[in-house]
Amino acid sequence: MDGQLILHEDARSGNCYKIRLTAAHLDVPLTRHNYDIMRGETRTPAFLGTVNANGRIPVLQVGDRFLPESNAACFWLADGSHLIPHDRFARADMLHWMFWEQYNHEPNVATLRFWRVFVGEDRLTEAQQVQLPAKRTAGEAALRLMDEHLAGRDWFAGGAFSLADICLYAYTHVAEDGGFDLGAYPHVGRWLAAVAALPGHIAMEPEAALAA
């Protein structure tokens, strides 16, 4: 590793949890620096000027360099390890699921959790309110697609546990916070249990942390 690793995060974020879960499976220590996104702590001039001009967490700091985007940080941590398939097609297929997670899953499954648990449904803007039905439908479609994929497989890509599973686990396992019924997706349920039973697994946060 290149010097100290610092995770700039909000511990309640599934995107931040992905990085901690990857590091836990690799037995790599991370120093954690917490920000409260609800108080604008990632939009200060200091944060924007040094950590991430995009004003978002997580950012993985590697020595004096900063790496935004959760799935890219997981890739850096896992590069060369068993969490990334050696086979060329399987490696790209893992990335397929990671890009799909950020495009089709996170903006729906994670955003509804954020709006319900952190913002509060009665405090949403009109533009957010109008998007609720489409995000609900798209989130259910994402979970259904996962369920169909897992009907004949234990893991998402390459026949083994990989970053694709870690990145999809993060927001799927707390999808009920966003009002999704995980009971409707039995193969997803089996896969969630299998991920949580792996040696090296860590939980996201104690329940108390969510009661912010």
The order of strands in the sheet holding 5-9 is: 31-34, 5-9, 59-62, 65-68
d(CA 142, CA 89): 23
CB of 66 to a copy of itself, least distance (A): 9
Size of the site for a copy of itself (CB under 8 A): 40
Helix (H/G/I), strand (E/B), else coil: 118: helix
d(CA 4, CA 90): 31
Beta-bridge partners for 185: none
Which residues are CB-neighbours of 202 under 8 A, at least 6 positions away? 20, 21, 24
> Could you tell me which stretch among 17-25, 38-46, 111-119, 129-137 binds a copy of itself (CB under 8 A)?
129-137
Residue of the chain from 4, 34, 44, 54 that contacts a copy of itself (CB under 8 A): 54
> Is residue 95 a contact point for a copy of itself (CB under 8 A)?
yes
> Is residue 67 a contact point for a copy of itself (CB under 8 A)?
yes
Chain center to CA of 57 = 11
| Helix (H) or strand (E) run with residue 108 in it | none
Q: Which CB sits closer to a copy of itself, 94 or 174?
A: 94
Q: Residue 189 has what DSSP assignment?
A: H
Instruction: Detail the DSSP E strand segments found in 23-123.
Output: 31-34, 59-62, 65-68
Residue of the chain from 6, 24, 69, 179 that contacts a copy of itself (CB under 8 A): 69
Residue of the chain from 6, 24, 41, 93 that contacts a copy of itself (CB under 8 A): 93
> Is residue 6 a contact point for a copy of itself (CB under 8 A)?
no
Residue of the chain from 6, 26, 41, 102 that contacts a copy of itself (CB under 8 A): 102
Q: Binding residues for a copy of itself, per CB under 8 A?
A: 2, 53-54, 62, 65, 67-73, 75-76, 79-80, 88-89, 91-93, 95-96, 98-100, 102-104, 106-107, 126-127, 130-131, 133-134, 145, 148-149
